[in-house]
Amino acid sequence: MTQEAITSRIIAIIKEHVGTEDALFPETDLEEDLAFDSLERVELAIKLEKAFGIALANSKLRNSVTIGDLIQLVICAEQERRILNV
Amino acid sequence: MTGRITSPAIVVTGMGIISPYGIGPDILWTKLMAGESGLQPLTTFDTAHIRCRVGGQLKDFNANRYLSPRTVRKIDRFSSFALIASELALLDAGLLVDGKKPLWMESGEGEQRVGICVGNNLGGWEFAERELRNLWQSGPREVSPYMATAWFPAAVQGNVSIQFGIKGIGRTFLADRASGAMAIIHAADCLQRGRADMMLVGGTEAPFSPYAALCYETSGLMSQQAVSGSLTAYRPFDVAHDGLVCAEGAAFFVLERAEDALARGATILAKLTGWASTYDGYNMVQPAPDGQRYAEAMKQALTQAQKQPDDIDCVFAAGSGIPSEDIAETRAIRLALGDAANKIPVSTPKSAFGNMFGAATPVDMAIALLAMQRHVIPATLHLDQPAPGCDLDYVPQTPRSVERLDTCLINARGMGGTNAALVVERCS
């Protein structure tokens, strides 16, 4: 899956999760712009884990500020998964 | 100096209700006047494991119509009820600027002086049971992270305070069917002692899920007539009374000191002039049959309100429908009101729709306010023939128009003899 495809899929998941039709970008702040609290991050992370078949580290999840940070987390986790599967 | 220190008067300036009949005071009042039962067969969850087959269930309720799906996903039904009833109360009190946010959120001022008190008994078991099923059937990854905040009784105070920017005192009271009364008492105390300038207070209950309903059933206090699906199973003070039928819903109020309410030009719905609570110290489940401590709560509330028994125009009874409790409540009312008890109507309108436990007293208070506005006492439905030991004027079957309905005593009694009484007065 390309980075563009991952980005597009993550944004679609987040839009569905928060119930918005507004455009979201990698710079969009999870807390400031989308009012995510710590529990909702976990809820979203589980959705991302299921969608991409990956596992996300809690510590890295907590430090994610923007959608872009989440995208990078998912990309790294996907790469790790691929390496482990080789 | 011998001058008496006068406590500030406490008034009700907003009211929001969700009853088994629907949302708002109008439908509740209309149905009560029509004598329509709010009890229905329980169909929204599997009842194979319990005997009770009826309840005061709000069947067409869809929280997504009133709250964002994102919010609804995070909370239990009892919090949804509370959020909606709170919003209605704040709206009624003229405190919502754009129909959504309270004045203090808009201005960023005074939010520390607004408090919240909630009465609840069970917590949010619909949410909790769903997530426990997910845990056992699919594993921990399938459990909502909001399990941490959704199910416990104090979740309501958290959700409401966040939604409406309330940053002052926050308390949740669990005292069975007196939970809501305890919340109102604490809120009034906080205002009178100057610990807050405004209190949002009420109760909420959502008992219709398999485990929650089972908890009530195992108490042994539910009506056995509900087994047959009888819609007349809840029969306070009737010869065929044999226990409670539970209901869901919420009622919330805005309370303020009278001087503050008048200063901001608020409409005053009623005065809350007396309140008291006592405890029986008798048994874990059964209240004391002598009614002494229960009567004491009523007497103390009357004393605080500076009322004599003759001043009371109507008593809204706790009316559990449990035979020993109905007799004890009758005894307590006689002890508290003396000879005046022979002529004061004692109504239990909740017989029509069920007992809301944590929200029972707040809903009773809402009905009392509506009754005082309209000079009509709602009836005690399903009371065909008073039980032995129940010898008061219970306003059976038919609402009663009265010339004077200015002062009401509202009783509350929970499991084990948690007693409370409130005095509310019409605002002239």
CB contact under 8 A, B146 and A19: no
Q: In this structure, are strands B170-173 and B114-119 parallel, antiparallel, or unpaired?
A: parallel
CB-based contact B189:B181 (threshold 8 Å): no
> Which pLDDT does position B399 carry in this prediction?
98
Q: What's the rounded mean pLDDT across residues B379-402?
A: 98
Q: What's the rounded mean pLDDT across residues B118-144?
A: 96
CB contact under 8 A, A19 and B70: yes
Distance, in Å, from the CA atom of B119 to the CA atom of A79, rounded to the nearest integer, reads 51
Phi, psi torsion values for B421, nearest 5 degrees = -145, 145
CB contact under 8 A, A43 and B148: no
DSSP state of B35: T
CB-based contact B236:B70 (threshold 8 Å): no
CA B10, B15, B16 angle in degrees (round to 5)? 150
* Contacts A40 to B, Cβ<8 Å: 74, 145
Burial A21-40 (b: 16+ CB within 10 A, else e): eeebeeebebeeebebeebb
Nearest Cα residue in chain B from A55: B141
User: What residues have CB less than 8 Å from A84, skipping those under 6 apart?
Assistant: none
Nearest Cα residue in chain B from A19: B70
CA B196 vs CA B181, B193, B255, B257: distances in Å:
18, 8, 10, 9
Residues on chain A bordering chain B, Cβ-to-Cβ distance under 8 angstroms: 17-19, 39-40, 42-43, 46, 49
Q: Is the pLDDT of residue B1 over 80?
A: no
SS3 content of chain B, % helix, strand, coil (to 5): 40, 20, 40
Phi, psi torsion values for B265, nearest 5 degrees = 75, 25
**Position B3 confidence tier, pLDDT thresholds 50, 70, 90:** very low
User: What residues have CB less than 8 Å from B131, skipping those under 6 apart?
Assistant: B143, B144, B147, B151
Two tokens, residue B110: 């005074």
Q: What distance in Å separates residue A19's CA from the closest CA in chain B?
A: 7
Q: Is the pLDDT of residue B157 over 70?
A: yes
Two tokens, residue A43: 């809820």
> Which pLDDT does position B5 carry in this prediction?
57
User: What residues have CB less than 8 Å from B180, skipping those under 6 apart?
Assistant: B119, B173, B202, B203, B251, B356, B358, B359, B360, B361, B362, B363, B412
> Which pLDDT does position B123 carry in this prediction?
97
Q: Is the pLDDT of residue B35 over 70?
A: yes
Percent of all residues in chain B with a pLDDT value above 90, rounded to a whole number? 89
Q: What's the rounded mean pLDDT across residues B279-303?
A: 96
**pLDDT single digits (tens) A59-72:** 888 889 999 999 99
CA B187, B426, B172 angle in degrees (round to 5)? 15
Q: Is the pLDDT of residue B224 over 60?
A: yes
User: Among partner residues A17, A19, A43, which is closest to B145 by beta-carbon distance?
Assistant: A43
Q: Is the pLDDT of residue B115 over 70?
A: yes
Most B-contacting residue of A15, A40, A44, A61 (CB-CB within 10 A), to test interface: A40
Q: Is the pLDDT of residue B188 over 60?
A: yes
ipTM: 0.84
Nearest Cα residue in chain A from B71: A18
Burial B36-48 (b: 16+ CB within 10 A, else e): ebbbbebeebebe
Q: Is the pLDDT of residue A40 over 60?
A: yes
> Which pLDDT does position B164 carry in this prediction?
97
CB contact under 8 A, A40 and B144: no
**pLDDT single digits (tens) B302-358:** 999 999 999 999 999 999 999 999 999 999 999 999 999 999 999 999 999 999 999
pTM here is 0.95
Distance, in Å, from the CA atom of B82 to the CA atom of B252, rounded to the nearest integer, reads 7
Percent of all residues in chain B with a pLDDT value above 70, rounded to a whole number? 99
Most A-contacting residue of B64, B70, B134 (CB-CB within 10 A), to test interface: B70
User: Among partner residues B68, B70, B145, which is closest to A39 by beta-carbon distance?
Assistant: B145
Judged by DSSP in three states, B136 sits in: helix
Across chain B, mean pLDDT equals: 95
> Which pLDDT does position B271 carry in this prediction?
98
CB contact under 8 A, B148 and A18: no
What is the H or E stretch that residue B117 is in? strand B114-119
CA B395, B399, B403 angle in degrees (round to 5)? 90
CB-based contact B39:B353 (threshold 8 Å): yes
